[in-house]
Amino acid sequence: MTEEHNKLQSLYKKNSPCPTGWNIFRCSCYFLYEGSGSWTKGRQDCRDRGADLVVIDSDEEQSFLSEFTNMNTWIGLSDRDKEGTWKWVDGTPLTVKYWSAPQPDNGNGDPQFGEEDCVHIREAGTSSWNDLSCEASLPWVCEKS
């Protein structure tokens, strides 16, 4: 992050509408749960916090999240309802995409991976998404307006 971005983050935190432990970016608050669990467990935890798994809709938000998380983390994207039809937890279709090549691959049909219907940020950077079994155990990011 740039020095200017860090100064702005510090200023926002002082006057932040976000709860303690949450970070602000634009008009949303973000919480990184550093424990781990399935995608469904992460979603329920976010809902219990009055939020949901993060919905990424811009290059800036993707950059912020890849730096903010700096680890494998669940995001609110899946194709659980219909294979190949990716939707966010808020019901919006996938428009901006940050897949790592050659993702999504649904595990390439390899039984050891099973169905890969949920998405996580795998690494820092813009091309960092990977589809994974929803039962894998990862940290997650919650978002609320």
Domain around 82: 3-144
Q: How confident is the model at residue 140 (pLDDT cuts 50, 70, 90)?
A: very high
Dist. CA 62–CA 125, nearest whole Å: 8
Dist. CA 138–CA 104, nearest whole Å: 18
Which of helix, strand or coil describes residue 113? coil
- pLDDT tops 80 at residue 10: no
The CATH number that applies at residue 32 is 3.10.100.10
Dist. CA 12–CA 80, nearest whole Å: 36
Which segment of 42-51, 77-86, 110-119 scores lowest on mean pLDDT?
110-119
Q: How many domains does the chain have?
A: 1
- pLDDT tops 90 at residue 126: no
Which position has the token pair 């279709």? 93
Which of helix, strand or coil describes residue 53? strand
Predicted pLDDT of residue 11: 52
Is 66 or 2 the better-scoring residue by pLDDT?
66
